[in-house]
């Protein structure tokens, strides 16, 4: 059973590097974001790769050349597994802030490291809180950070090759900042854990394909622009999923 060593690794790496976490949290409180970002760029990719290796997950990534390296972007991906956020954190331009479910904020140690990553915890049942989080994401974009979002809002549990509908609200971040949207297609991640009848983590080959960015320039800053962008990103990812 890989699930025990995987979760052991997830928390043991954090526990074995307490000084990095403490230093990062102090820097975050002091507004020293350069130190915070240096710590996350060093430790988060090592942690993610270690988790995936322990789980027996082989990741093949293509399309990295489509990622704009000269400006901040909004990365959007289809969502199949709890492991999906590891794949966004391993994008070539460094770990990025993610918009995650508010339930993750309750997990000790994980919460603190996600705070160092400037991650945002969204409560989709609270409209005012959701708007506040999206405003925070816009602020991060203006400061030069990429932001990663799973626009379906939850994991899709249907057959491989399918996906849920993209919620347009999260695309307001791109429309209001002018940031390009980078669609990311994740194949077969549900087979890691969620598609099995028995609880566990299973060795899996996962493919990640980064599609060319979608420009948000010229789109209306109203809800219409966000809906247009969401529909286009969803269409492109659906088309890629059907090719498998």
Q: What is the pLDDT of residue 159?
A: 84
SS3 205: strand
Whether pLDDT at 80 is above 90: yes
Q: What is the pLDDT of residue 1?
A: 65
Nearest 5°: the CA angle 123, 234, 231 is 90
Contact in structure between 45 and 89 (CB atoms under 8 Å): yes
Q: What is the pLDDT of residue 94?
A: 82
| pLDDT band of 127, cuts 50, 70, 90 | confident
Could you give the C-alpha distances from 67 to 28, 51, 73, 182, in angstroms and in order? 28, 24, 8, 7
Q: What is the pLDDT of residue 204?
A: 94
CATH class of 57-242: alpha beta
Q: What is the pLDDT of residue 19?
A: 95
Judging by beta carbons within 10 Å of its beta carbon (0-12, 13-18, 19+), is residue 1 exposed, middle or buried?
Answer: exposed
| pLDDT band of 243, cuts 50, 70, 90 | confident
Contact in structure between 153 and 169 (CB atoms under 8 Å): no
* Mean pLDDT across 44-72: 96
Whether pTM exceeds 0.85: yes
| pLDDT band of 109, cuts 50, 70, 90 | confident
Q: Provide the percentage of residues in the chain whose pLDDT is more than 90.
A: 76
* Mean pLDDT across 78-87: 95
What residue ranges do the domains of the chain occupy? 57-242
Whether pLDDT at 17 is above 80: yes
Which residues share a beta bridge with 181? 74, 214
For residue range 227-237, what is the model confidence (pLDDT) as tens digits?
A: 999 999 999 99
| pLDDT band of 97, cuts 50, 70, 90 | very high
* Mean pLDDT across 48-59: 96
Q: What is the pLDDT of residue 37?
A: 97
Whether pLDDT at 103 is above 70: yes
Cα–Cα distance measured from residue 210 to residue 228, given in angstroms and rounded to the nearest whole number: 20
Mean pLDDT of the chain: 93
- Pick 218 or 60 by higher pLDDT: 60
Contact in structure between 138 and 153 (CB atoms under 8 Å): no
Q: What is the pLDDT of residue 87?
A: 96
E strand or H helix that includes residue 208: strand 204-210
For residue range 173-224, what is the model confidence (pLDDT) as tens digits?
A: 999 999 999 999 999 999 998 877 677 899 999 999 999 999 998 888 878 9
SS3 122: strand
């Amino acid at each position: 059973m890989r699930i025990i060593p995987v979760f052991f690794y997830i928390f043991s790496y954090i526990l074995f590097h307490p000084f990095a976490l403490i230093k990062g949290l102090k820097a975050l409180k002091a507004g020293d974001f350069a130190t915070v970002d240096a710590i996350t760029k060093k430790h988060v990719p090592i942690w993610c790769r270690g988790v995936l290796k322990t789980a027996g997950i082989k990741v093949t990534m293509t399309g990295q050349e489509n990622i704009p390296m000269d400006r901040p972007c909004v990365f959007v991906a289809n969502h199949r597994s709890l492991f999906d956020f590891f794949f966004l954190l391993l994008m070539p331009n460094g770990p990025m802030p993610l918009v995650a479910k508010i339930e993750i904020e309750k997990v000790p140690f994980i919460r603190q490291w996600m705070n160092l990553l400037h991650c945002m915890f969204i409560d989709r049942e609270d409209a005012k809180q959701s708007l506040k989080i999206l405003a925070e994401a816009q602020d991060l974009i203006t400061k030069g950070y990429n932001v990663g979002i799973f626009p379906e809002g939850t994991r899709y549990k249907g057959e491989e090759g399918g996906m849920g509908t993209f919620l347009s609200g999260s695309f307001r971040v791109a429309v209001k900042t002018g940031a390009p949207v980078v669609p990311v297609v994740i194949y077969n991640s549900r087979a890691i854990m969620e598609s099995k009848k028995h609880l566990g983590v299973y060795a899996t080959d996962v493919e990640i394909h980064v599609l060319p960015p979608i420009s948000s320039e010229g789109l209306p800053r109203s809800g219409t622009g966000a809906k247009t962008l969401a529909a286009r990103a969803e269409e492109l990812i659906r088309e890629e999923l059907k090719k498998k």
